[in-house]
A and B are shown apart, each in its own frame.
Chain A
Amino acid sequence: MPSSQALIANPLIVLREEFDDWAILFDPDTSHSYGLNPVSVFIYKRLDGKHSFEEIVSELRSECQNAPDDAETDVQQFLDDLLAKGLAGHAAQQR
C-alpha cells in the first residue's frame, strides 16, 4: 500500500466490540470472524478513507506511550493482512 493512500474498512464487515477493548470482525456472508486486540481495534476504527498511514501511526504513538520503535512495520503488516482478507480496501479516488 502506498503509505499516503488512505484505507477504508469494508462496510459489509461488522466490528463487534465485546470485552475490554477487544473485538471481532465478522463477515456475515461467510460467517468468518477474526479476533482483534485493542491496538488493532484502534487502527481499524481509523480506516475511514481519511486517515493516512502516517496519521494512524502518529495517533497510535501519541495514544500508546510504549509503542515500539518498529510500530510502522507492525501497522503495515496488519493493514496488508486486512487488505488480503478483503476486510479493508482503498478508498475510491475523488474526481
Chain B
Amino acid sequence: MRTMLTPRSVDLSITNRCNLNCTYCYHFESKGNSGRDLPTEDWLHFFEELNRCAVIDVTLAGGEPFLRKDFRELIDGIVKNKMRYSILTNGTLVIEEMAAYIASTKRCNSVQVSIDGSWPGPHDAFRGEGNFERAVAGLQRLKAQGIPMTVRVTIHRHNVDDLEAIARFLLEEIGLPSFSTNSAGYVGQCRSHSEDVQLTIEERTRAMETLLLLNEHYNGRISAAAGPLAEAKHWLEMETARRDGDESHADCGQLRSCGGVFSKMAVRADGEMVPCSQMSHIELGRINQVDLKETWQHHPELLRLRERRTISLADFEFCKDCPYIPYCRGNCPALAYTLTGEENHPSPDACLKRFLEAGGRLPERRNQPQQDCC
C-alpha cells in the first residue's frame, strides 16, 4: 500500500473550550476533550514542522476555535508557514473585525458554520436558546467579507421534518452555493442522549427520501459524506448492484472506509497526535516531542489502521450471509469503535442489511446530480 511521505492535511483541535454545550457534540465526553489547551508558542513551533513536512492545509476546530484569544496569531503562523486553512465553528462568536481579518489573509479555504434549522426551534433545541440567531449573524458577517463559507446541517429528531425549509433558507434566502449534511452519530455526548437525538428507522427513511428529492431540485447543491443523503445514494447503488448480480465493485468487499489515514491526521487540543479527531483515543505522541514524519510513516497504530483495508468483510460474523458484501466498504472506523470497541470492524450504524432488517426502506431511485462523497 502506498502512503504519502507526509500527511497532506492536518486537523487541529486548537481548544477544548466551547461557549456552547450541544447535546450531540462529538468532542465533549470523548478522549479529545483532554483538558489543557496548548499555549500559542507550542502551536507556532509545530506549524514550522508542518511547513518542513510540506503540509498543504490545516483545519482549525475545537471546541470553538474563535474562543482562542490568540486566534489571529495562530492564523499568522499558518500563513507564515505557507499553508492554507479551514475553520469549523458554531458561528456565534464571529465578529466583523475577525471576519475582515480572515478575508485579508487570502488563505482561508472555507469557514464551516453549523446551522441545524430554518428557524430557531430545531437549532436551539440542542444548541441552546438564542444561538440560531447568533450563528446566522456570524454567517452573514463572513458572507459580507466574501469568505468562502459552507454550512453543515446535523440532522436529528427535531429538524428531520424541517429539511425542505432548511434547504430553502440556506440556498435561497442566505444564498449559499451549497451546504452539507450528516446526522448525529453515536459518539461523544450523543451517546448519553441517543434516544432524544438520533433518528429512528422511520425518520431515517424519511430523511433519505426528502434529501434525495431536495438534492435533485437544487441540482446537486446538497452534499454529504455521511448521514442519510450519503447513505441513500450509496445504499441505492448497492441494492441495484445486488439486484443486477454485479460483480464486486472496486474497493469493496474489505474494510476500505475511510481513506483518511492515507492523507490526513489530527492533533488534540493538548498536543497529542491522533489518527483522526473522531478517533482521539488512539494516541500517537506529542507534537514537538516526537517527529511528525516518523510518526506518520511508522507508528504501529497508523499502520494497523491502514492495514484495515486488507481485512475481508466476509471474515466477520457480523457480515455473515450478507448479500451486499461485494458492494460494501465497512464504513467509518470511529463509529465502529464506539459501537463495537474495535476500529477494524464494520460499522453497525451504517449497515444496509441491518437497516432493512430493522424495517427501514430505501427511497425510490432518482437521477442524482454528481457530487463529492467519501
A residues engaging B (CB < 8 A)?
Answer: 12, 14-20, 26, 28-29, 31
Contacts and interface: CB of A to CB of B under 8 A. Distances in A.
Interface of B: 2, 4-6, 8, 51, 54, 56, 79, 82-84, 106-107, 109
When A and B form their complex, which 8 residue pairs have the shortest distance between CB atoms, in order from nearest? A16-B54, A18-B4, A28-B82, A14-B82, A14-B54, A28-B84, A19-B2, A26-B56
Given A16-B6, A18-B4, 19 more contacts: A14-B51, A14-B54, A14-B56, A15-B54, A16-B54, A16-B56, A18-B8, A19-B2, A19-B4, A19-B5, A26-B54, A28-B56, A28-B79, A28-B82, A28-B84, A28-B107, A29-B106, A31-B84, A31-B109
Nearest to A33: B56
A80 to B, nearest CB: 25
Nearest to A26: B56
A29 B108 CA distance: 9
B107 A29 contact: yes
Contacts of B4: 18-19
Nearest to B106: A29
A17 B54 contact: yes
A18 B55 CA distance: 11
Contact of B5 (A14, A18, A29, A31): A18
Contacts of A18: 4-5, 8
B5 A17 contact: yes
Contacts of B6: 16
Contacts of A19: 2, 4-5
Contacts of B109: 31
Give the residue among A14, A15, A28, A29 with the most B Cβ atoms within 10 A.
Answer: A28
Nearest to A12: B82
A58 B50 CA distance: 34
